[in-house]
Amino acid sequence: MWFKKIIAIIFLIYGTIGLVLPSDPSIIIVGSGPAGIAAATKLLKNNFTKIKILEAENRIGGRINSIKFGDAYVDLGAQFCHGQEGNIVYSMVKDFDILRPSTHKFQMIRSNGEKVDEETANKIMNFAELLLEASEEDPLPECENAKSVGECLDIRSKVLEDSSKNDKQKEIFSEAHPWAKSYISALDGTLDLYDLDYNTTYKTCGGDLGMNWNGHGYKTILEIMMQKYPNPDHQLPIDNKIFLEQTVANISNWQNDNRVTVTTTDGTKYEADHVIFTPSVGVLKANHEELFTPALPADKISAIKNTGFGAILKVIVHFNQRWYENNPTWAFFWTAKDVDELEEKNLEWLLDMEGVVQAENNPNVLVFWYSGSHVPLIETLSEATIKEAHEYLINKFLAPHYNVTMPDKYIRTTWFSNPNFRGTYSYESVKGHSGGQYNLQEKLGSPLMNEDGKLTLLFAGEATHPHYFSTVHGAIESGYREADRLIEVYTK
Ligand SMILES: Cc1cc2nc3c(=O)[nH]c(=O)nc-3n(C[C@H](O)[C@H](O)[C@H](O)COP(=O)(O)OP(=O)(O)OC[C@H]3O[C@@H](n4cnc5c(N)ncnc54)[C@H](O)[C@@H]3O)c2cc1C
Ligand SMILES: *[C@@H]1O[C@H](CO)[C@@H](O)[C@H](O)[C@H]1NC(C)=O
Ligand SMILES: *[C@@H]1O[C@H](CO)[C@@H](O)[C@H](O)[C@H]1NC(C)=O
Ligand SMILES: *[C@@H]1O[C@H](CO)[C@@H](O)[C@H](O)[C@H]1NC(C)=O
Ligand SMILES: *[C@@H]1O[C@H](CO)[C@@H](O)[C@H](O)[C@H]1NC(C)=O
């Protein structure tokens, strides 16, 4: 390799006297989710032009997927802007009148048709919210020794039940337990709440935690980054740099050569000075062995294995005719008797339904949210089963209160089974932290060099963000971080 070093030195000398130098290096970005689009747009704005984005799907956006359904866009993936202060999404969009404040206030309905009274409902909400707000710095006293959020939830549930003023309230509190489990699982995307570490490095941005896009879809943030919105005349020259349906199968020569080789499943070969890899940690868990030649270093592999990655699911339905009030938000509780009925009907997975909300600015569309251990199963059920089960839910919980009609269209998401995602977002795993393994996000995000010390393989994506993992704002910051890393190499 001596000749490569000499060439590198010649380039360095040329560079310092301002002649050629690979000042416009070739860069391949794997993935066109928010991290990939963030990296590409930042590089383009800094006059890097030799960029190629290879995307496995037939669309850009990754875990942002807004599609037209009913009267507006609905989000199959990311839906809410979580917080305002320190949130890069919020700061990019705040000057355009798009985001709307969160409106959710759950109406809790029992499977026997009763509505939960206000006082009991408030106590349940406080119990769930308190659990969400608790952190390592400020743990709930009862949960000091809890390892997982699941353990803490069980302890707190017991406290709640013991505080009930009568038998009926106690019954409702116990029915709220599985609901609270799925409510909290949804926020962290875990299939197993007992694997969600109670000790977390996640940071919540201040302000409204659930701002919505008012029917424009989370895709708007991609358009803002690409400068297609608000004025398409100012758009960055990115469209011809995106190659769809190019599934990267193999990234080789990242260590032993000056150029990295990227091969896609259709046999196309690309070469570049640098590769920024952005697919999910779910994709890495499944494929890292085949994806990288030579193999990734041991500490990177261990971070991949020990990072938690689960899934949530949405069933989005359309009604020909609307029969509910504006922006309803329902939580459904199952009486003990009806839990037995669910088991008989093979519908236990309905216990994983966290809530039903109206899609924003989309009056005839409701979104049913699911989270917890049954999500992988729900993805495999037939369309007929999904339809029957939702008709059953609507009849059981809503028919006593409304003149219901049944949906005419259904969408069910499949993030867990899609090989380009294999789940929804990363979380901090109890099992993964065993043996004192922390700061896995930083290990996932650390770049790799070839033998000459050139940064050949860089990593971005939500799971690489030290405290905003699992979010779009985290993904975008990680993309900017890796673009900046290269910009610094070529401009200093
Ligand atoms: C259902 C759901 C709800 C969510 N809700 C919210 C929310 O409300 N708010 C929020 O902030 N976040 C939310 N998130 C999380 C957020 O969407 C993600 O954190 C973020 O999109 C991750 O971006 P990324 O660029 O890191 O990865 P991705 O968006 O996954 O982008 C990676 C890209 O790589 C592509 N790819 C994968 N493998 C290959 C390959 N071999 N070759 C080429 N390309 C490949 C993928 O197709 C994908 O396009 C949600 C996610 C889901 C799924
Ligand atoms: C990019 O190039 C343009 C035109 O040559 C120049 O005006 C601008 O300053 C450059 N931007 C950066 C960040 O180098
Ligand atoms: C909590 O996590 C931090 C790292 O983020 C670690 O240093 C600390 O030991 C952990 N605390 C417990 C009680 O596990
Ligand atoms: C990846 O490419 C390298 C170099 O072309 C090759 O040696 C290796 O076998 C390939 N690996 C896979 C899994 O295709
Ligand atoms: C349902 O329809 C009947 C008959 O039209 C009407 O009397 C009743 O008020 C309606 N109920 C609700 C909850 O809208």
pLDDT at 133: 77
Higher pLDDT, 342 or 104: 342
The two three-digit tokens of residue 26, written as one number: 């070739």
Which residue, 412, 447, 462, sits at the end of a domain?
412
- The finding on whether 49 has its CB within 6 A of some atom of ligand 2 is no
State mean pLDDT over 35-39: 99
Could you tell me if 241 and 287 lie in one domain? yes
Residues 203 and 226 in one domain: no
Integer Cα distance of 308 and 434 in angstroms: 12
Q: What is the average per-residue pLDDT within 461-472?
A: 98
What is the distance between the alpha carbons of residues 360 and 366, in angstroms, rounded to a whole number? 9
The whole-number pLDDT of residue 161 equals 95
Lowest mean pLDDT: which of 25-34, 124-133, 239-248, 439-448?
A: 124-133
Whether pLDDT at 6 is above 70: no
**Alpha-helical runs (H) found in 307-437:** 336-344, 375-380, 383-393, 430-433
Q: List strands edge to edge, sheet with 107-110.
A: 107-110, 329-333, 353-358, 365-371, 312-318, 409-412
Across the chain, mean pLDDT equals 94
Specify whether 245 is located in the same domain as 195.
Answer: no
pLDDT at 272 over 50: yes
Q: What's the pLDDT at 225? A: 98
Residue 194 lies in a domain: yes
- Cis ω for the linkage preceding 25 (within 30 of 0): no
pLDDT at position 228 is: 98
Same domain, 197 and 219: no
What order of strands is seen across the sheet that includes strand 269-272?
A: 269-272, 260-264, 248-252, 292-293
pLDDT over 90 at 245, yes or no: yes
Q: What number is the average pLDDT over the span 109-113?
A: 96
Query: Residue 15 pLDDT > 50, yes or no?
Result: no
290 C-beta closer than 6 A to ligand 4: yes
| Residues 198 and 325 placed together within one structural domain of the fold | yes
Q: What is the mean pLDDT of residues 479-483?
A: 98
Mean pLDDT across the stretch 294-316? 98
Does 88 map to a domain?
A: no
* Average pLDDT value for residue range 113-135: 89
pTM here is 0.94
- Give pLDDT, residue 135: 64
Non-local (6+) Cβ contacts of 129 within 8 A are none
Residues 199 and 322 in one domain: yes
Does residue 340 share a domain with residue 291?
Answer: no
Best CA proximity match to 405, nearest among 369, 368, 370, 366: 366
SS3 110: strand
Q: What does the block give as tokens for 15?
A: 């560079």
Alpha-carbon span 258 to 450, nearest angstrom: 7
Is 80 exceeded by the pLDDT of residue 258?
Answer: yes
Which of 384, 412, 440 corresponds to the end of one domain? 412
User: Which among 325, 401, 403, 404 is the best mutation to test ligand 5's pocket, defined by most ligand atoms within 8 Å of the CB?
Assistant: 403
Cα Rg, the chain, nearest whole Å: 24
Task: Tell which atom from ligand 4 comes closest to the C-alpha of 291.
Answer: 13
pLDDT in tens, 340-374: 999 999 999 999 999 999 999 999 999 999 999 99
pLDDT at residue number 18: 35
Alpha carbon of 286 to ligand 3 centroid (Å): 28
Q: Is 262 helix (H, G, I), strand (E, B) or coil?
A: strand
CA distance linking residue 312 with residue 187, whole number of Å: 9
Give the pLDDT confidence score for residue 3 in this predicted structure: 43
Structure tokens at 476: 């975008």
Q: Provide the pLDDT confidence category of residue 105 given band limits of 50, 70 and 90.
A: confident
Last residue of a domain, one of 412, 447, 475: 412
Residue 77 placed within a domain? no
Given pLDDT bands bounded at 50, 70 and 90, which one contains residue 136?
low
- Is the model more confident about 141 or about 291? 291
Say how many domains are in the chain. 2
Please tell me the residue having the least CA distance from ligand 3 atom 14. Answer: 199
Q: Using pLDDT thresholds of 50, 70 and 90, give the confidence band for residue 20.
A: very low
CATH number, domain at 108? 3.90.660
Q: Mutation test of ligand 4: which of 250, 251, 261, 264 has the most ligand atoms closer than 8 Å to its C-beta?
A: 250
Cis peptide before 279 (omega within 30 of 0): no
CA of 24 to the centre of ligand 2 (A): 13
For the segment 184-234, what is each residue's pLDDT rounded down to a tens digit? 999 999 999 999 999 999 999 999 999 999 999 999 999 999 999 999 999
Per-residue burial over 384-410, b if 16 or more Cβ lie within 10 Å, else e, is eebbebbeebbebbbeeeeeeeebeee
Confidence band, pLDDT 50/70/90 cuts, at residue 10: very low
359 vs 215: CA distance, rounded Å? 8
So what's the pLDDT on residue 4? 44
48 CA distance to ligand 2 middle (Å): 10
**Alpha carbon separation from 371 to 41, 50, 377, 464 (Å, rounded):** 34, 41, 11, 23
Percent with pLDDT over 70 in the chain = 95
pLDDT tens digits along 408-462: 999 999 999 999 999 999 999 999 998 788 899 999 999 999 999 999 999 999 9
Q: Does any domain span residue 93?
A: no
190 shares a domain with 122: yes
The whole-number average pLDDT for the span 70-81 is: 98
Q: Within a domain: residue 334? A: yes
367 within a domain of the structure (yes/no): yes
Helix (H) or strand (E) segment spanning residue 274: strand 274-277
Name the residue at shortest CA distance from atom 14 of ligand 1. Answer: 78
Q: Given the CA of residue 54, which atom of ligand 1 is nearest to it?
A: 43
Which structural domain, as residue segments, surrounds residue 387? Answer: 103-207+312-412
Residues 297, 318 within the same domain: no
Considering the domain architecture, whether residues 325 and 198 belong to the same structural domain is answered as yes
What CATH number corresponds to the domain at position 226? 3.50.50.60
Note whether residue 460 is domain-resident.
Answer: yes
- Closest ligand to C-alpha of residue 309 is 1
More confident residue, 400 or 1: 400
Is position 95 within any domain? no
Ligand 5 pocket check for 403: Cβ under 6 Å: yes
* 281 lies in the same domain as 258: yes
State whether 260 and 326 are in the same domain: no
Q: Is the pLDDT of residue 172 over 90?
A: yes
CB distance 454 to 273 below 8 Å: yes
Residue 19 pLDDT greater than 60, yes or no: no
The percentage of the chain sitting over the pLDDT mark of 90, rounded to a whole number, equals: 89
* Contacts for 479 with CB less than 8 Å, ≥ 6 apart: 34, 35, 36, 37, 38, 39, 40, 42, 276, 278, 460
